[in-house]
Every structure is written in structure tokens, then in C-alpha cells.
């Protein structure tokens, strides 16, 4: 097995000074690394009865779509406010400076439907936590959350797990 962590590009001081941005586009461009990542993200959920994968805008769409295909399920997007054309359920969440809102279509998931939440990276857990709240409002049974990268020092994964959502990440970058 190849070290997929070596396929992640780190960009210092982006989008602002002091941030080490973890860029997965270099991983996405490597066919073997991408395939291996999707297999590793999918493996813990093969026997969990996942019925739909929900991906968080925007890189979660890429990864989530591939995970859904591998699991043989449908895919639903979590988008920023105003991007979905049908009736929506929304959730506000806090950013470092201010707030934002994400949405899903009100018919994106059914009550009791087994859902896997997917994104490329978990940092503070703000967006993922908001996605969990939306899915819970819709009545979904969230079987887990899967990420390529976990930044454990920022506490997002711990926050999700504290709220009862089992998490899986392929790698960690500590000291962020």
C-alpha cells in the first residue's frame, strides 16, 4: 500500500498567514492514490447498510460521489445557502469571523434512512456539525462520518464523536 499522505500538497500561509492548507487536488490527480483513498474511506462502512452518502460542498462532492458509487448508494449534496433549487432545510453555523448557512433539499433523505457523511477534511467541525444537525432534522440515521484528513488539534472529529457520530479519517496532520 502506497503512502497516500505523501500525495497531499501543503500550502503554507493560505488562505491567510499561519494556515497550513492541505490541498487534496494532488491526491485527486493520482489515479492509484484516489482509488486507494476511496477504498479506505469505504471499507469501514461496507457492512453498515448505508443507503445514501451525503457530501459537503465542494470537495466532499468529489469524494462523496466516489464513495457512493463504491457503496452502491445514492448521493446527496450539502450546499451553501441559495445553491439548491428546491425546498430546503437549513442550518446556520459559526465561522472564525461570522456565520454561514448550509442547506439540503427537504426530500434529500428519508426518516430512518442510513446516511454516511463525507468530506475531504475535518478541522473545527463547524460545517460537519451543521450538516449533522440538518440530517438529524430530516430524520436521518447517521451511521458515520468519513474524511480523508483530520486536523486533530482543531477538535472537529472529537466534537462529532462527542455528539455520537462515529468518525473515520485516513490520516492526521497534527500541530495545525
- 128 neighbors 119 (Cβ within 8 angstroms): yes
H/E stretch holding 114 reads strand 114-122
In a domain, 40, yes or no: no
In a domain, 94, yes or no: yes
- Residue 2 pLDDT class (50, 70, 90 cuts): low
In a domain, 145, yes or no: yes
Q: Please compute the mean of the pLDDT values over residues 68-72 and round it to a whole number.
A: 98
Q: What is the pLDDT at residue 152?
A: 97
96 is catalytic: yes
174 is catalytic: no
Q: What is the pLDDT at residue 1?
A: 43
Catalytic residue among 22, 35, 39, 59: 59
Residue 50 three-state SS: coil
Per-residue pLDDT of 83-134, as tens digits, reads: 999 999 999 998 777 899 999 999 999 999 999 999 999 999 999 999 999 9
CATH code, 73 = 3.40.50.2020
In a domain, 81, yes or no: yes
Beta strands 20-23 and 9-12, pairing class: antiparallel
Q: Please compute the mean of the pLDDT values over residues 24-42 and round it to a whole number.
A: 97
In a domain, 87, yes or no: yes
In a domain, 30, yes or no: no
Total domains, the chain = 1
Q: What is the pLDDT at residue 175?
A: 73
pTM: 0.95
Residue span of the structural domain in which 108 resides: 47-172
In a domain, 22, yes or no: no
Chain-wide mean pLDDT for the chain?
A: 95
H-state helical runs in the chain: 25-28, 31-42, 59-71, 126-137, 156-162
Reading phi first (left if > 0) and then psi (alpha if -120 to 50, else beta), residue 23 is in beta
In a domain, 35, yes or no: no
Per-residue pLDDT of 84-96, as tens digits, reads: 999 999 999 987 7
Q: Please compute the mean of the pLDDT values over residues 42-60 and round it to a whole number.
A: 97
Amino acid at each position: 500500500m502506497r503512502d497516500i499522505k505523501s500525495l497531499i500538497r501543503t500550502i503554507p500561509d493560505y488562505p491567510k498567514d499561519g494556515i497550513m492548507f492541505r490541498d487534496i487536488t494532488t491526491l485527486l490527480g493520482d489515479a492509484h492514490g484516489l482509488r486507494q483513498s476511496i477504498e479506505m474511506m469505504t471499507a469501514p462502512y461496507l457492512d453498515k447498510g448505508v443507503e445514501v452518502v451525503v457530501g459537503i460542498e465542494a470537495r466532499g462532492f468529489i469524494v462523496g460521489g466516489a464513495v457512493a458509487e463504491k457503496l452502491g448508494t445514492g448521493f446527496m449534496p450539502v450546499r451553501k445557502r441559495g445553491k439548491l433549487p428546491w425546498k430546503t432545510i437549513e442550518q446556520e453555523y459559526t465561522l472564525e469571523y461570522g456565520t454561514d448557512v448550509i442547506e439540503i433539499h427537504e426530500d434529500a433523505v428519508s426518516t430512518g434512512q442510513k446516511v454516511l457523511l463525507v468530506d475531504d477534511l475535518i478541522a473545527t467541525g463547524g460545517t460537519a456539525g451543521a450538516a449533522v444537525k440538518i440530517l438529524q432534522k430530516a430524520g436521518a440515521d447517521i451511521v458515520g462520518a468519513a474524511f480523508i484528513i483530520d486536523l486533530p488539534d482543531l477538535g472537529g472529529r472529537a466534537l462529532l464523536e462527542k455528539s455520537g457520530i462515529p468518525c473515520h479519517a485516513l490520516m492526521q496532520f497534527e500541530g495545525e
